[in-house]
Amino acid sequence: MVELVSKIQKVSMFLTEYFADAATYFRYCGISPFQDKTRKLFYKILIEAHALEKGLSLANPRSLFGAAKIRFLMKAVDRYDLTFSRLPGEKVCGIFHAYIDLHSKRAVNDPLLVEMAAFLDRYEKVNSISPDGGLRRLDDETYDEFPPAARLLVSRHSNRMFADETLARSDVENIVRIAQSAPSQCNRQSCKAYFFQNRDDIDRLLKLQAGSTGFSADVNNLFVITSDLAAWGGAQQRNQAYVDGALFAMNVMLACHALEIASCPLNLAVTHKVENAIKQVGSINEGERLIMMIAVGRPVSRGALKVARSPRRPLAEILVTRMANERHAL
C-alpha cells in the first residue's frame, strides 16, 4: 500500500512539474503579454540583428538581403530604452555600417542604403553610440589580456564558411574522445554524437533544422548530439538531458577548435514531429533527446573567411556578485 501511494505521488509529480514548467514559460517567455516590454524588445532586437550579422558572414550574401528586418530594426531601436542595455543600439549600428560597406564595395545603390546612412547619422549622434557588430577581424585579435589556455576559449567562433572537404575518421574520433572529458551528472555519460558525411543525409537533416539557410550546401560534416533519456528518472530530472547534453556539445566545439577544425552550433528548437523526423532520417534511437546539430569541417582560407562579430554584453550585465566583503540589503 505504502509503495502504491509513493508510486502515485511520483507519477502525479510529473503532471504538476510539467504544468509548472508550462505556466512559468508562458508567464516569462519573450512572447508573453506579462513580460516586461523593454526586456522583450532587448532580446527581439538582438535576435533580428543577428540574422543580418549572420547574413554578412556568408560567402556571398545576396545584395540588399534582409530589407524587411533592417526596416524593423530602425524602428525598434528608436523606441528601445538604451538605459536597459546599450548593446542592441551598438550592435545594430555596427551591423548597418558593415552592410553599407558591403554594398559600397559592390557599387550597389538603393534608397534603403540612403535611409540606413541617415538613420546612423542621427541615431549615433543623439545617443553617443560606439558601433559594435558586423564582422569579426580575426587577424587583429591578440587575446593578450588572457592566459594562454584561456585564449582557446575566447578565440572560438561559429564558422559558416567551410572548405569543400570531408574530415578523416581519425579527426572525428579525436573530436569525440576529447569531448568525452565533459562532466556529466554522476558521470552517467548519457550523450551520443551521431556523425554524418553522406550528402543526402546532411541535406535532409539540415532541411529539418532550418537554421543553416545560406550555407547548408557547404556543410560536409555534421554532428547530431543527443542524450539518452534512460539515464534520467523522476520529474525533478526532467531537464537534465539538456544540461549534460549542452555541456557535451560545448566540449565538441572546443575539441574541434583545439584541433583547428571549425564548427557552427545549429539549434534544434523544434516540435516533437520534427524531432521524430530527424530521428528517422538519422536512424537515431527514439528514446534519445536531440540536443543540437553541429556543422564541422575545415574553414575556408583565412583570407576568404568572414566571421560574425557577435559582440558580448558588458560584464556588469552578466556578473552578479555577492562578495564576502560586501553587504547586501535583502
Among 46, 292, 294, 296, binds ligand FMN (CB under 6 A): 292
Task: List CB contacts of 25: < 8 A, sequence separation 6 or more.
Answer: none
Cell numbers of 230, please? 534512460
Provide the phi-psi class of 11: left if phi over 0, else alpha when psi is between -120 and 50, else beta: alpha
Among 264, 281, 290, 300, binds ligand FMN (CB under 6 A): 264
Say whether residue 211 binds ligand FMN (CB under 6 A): yes
Separation of alpha carbons 147 and 169, rounded Å: 32
Instruction: Pick the piece of the chain touching ligand FMN (CB under 6 A) from 93-101, 157-165, 195-203, 217-225.
Output: 157-165
Say whether residue 176 binds ligand FMN (CB under 6 A): no
Min separation Cβ 90 and ligand FMN, Å: 15
Q: Please, how many CA atoms are within 13 Å of residue 77, restricted to the half-sphere of its CB?
A: 31
Whether the CA torsion 99, 101, 105, 111 is positive or negative: it is positive
Q: Residues of 261-293 as b/e, b for ≥16 C-beta within 10 angstroms?
A: bbbbbbebeeeeeebebbbebbebeeebbbbbb
113 or 160: CB nearest ligand FMN: 160
Min separation Cβ 117 and ligand FMN, Å: 26
Say whether residue 92 binds ligand FMN (CB under 6 A): no
10 or 312: CB nearest ligand FMN: 312
Instruction: Pick the piece of the chain touching ligand FMN (CB under 6 A) from 21-29, 59-67, 261-269, 271-279.
Output: 261-269
Say whether residue 285 binds ligand FMN (CB under 6 A): no
Closest listed residue to residue 78, CA positions, set 131, 132, 126: 126
Say whether residue 265 binds ligand FMN (CB under 6 A): yes
Cell numbers of 155, please? 578565440
The distance from CA 314 to its chain's CA centroid, rounded to whole angstroms, is 18
Number of H helices, E strands in the chain: 11, 4
Separation of alpha carbons 120 and 94, rounded Å: 10
Say whether residue 157 binds ligand FMN (CB under 6 A): yes
Say whether residue 158 binds ligand FMN (CB under 6 A): yes
Instruction: Pick the piece of the chain touching ligand FMN (CB under 6 A) from 22-30, 175-183, 264-272, 273-281.
Output: 264-272
Among 54, 279, 298, 306, binds ligand FMN (CB under 6 A): 54
Say whether residue 129 binds ligand FMN (CB under 6 A): no
Among 40, 44, 50, 238, binds ligand FMN (CB under 6 A): 50
Separation of alpha carbons 53 and 96, rounded Å: 9
113 or 244: CB nearest ligand FMN: 244
Say whether residue 267 binds ligand FMN (CB under 6 A): yes
**By the criterion CB under 6 A, which residues form the site for ligand FMN?**
50, 54, 157-158, 160, 211-212, 264-267, 292, 310
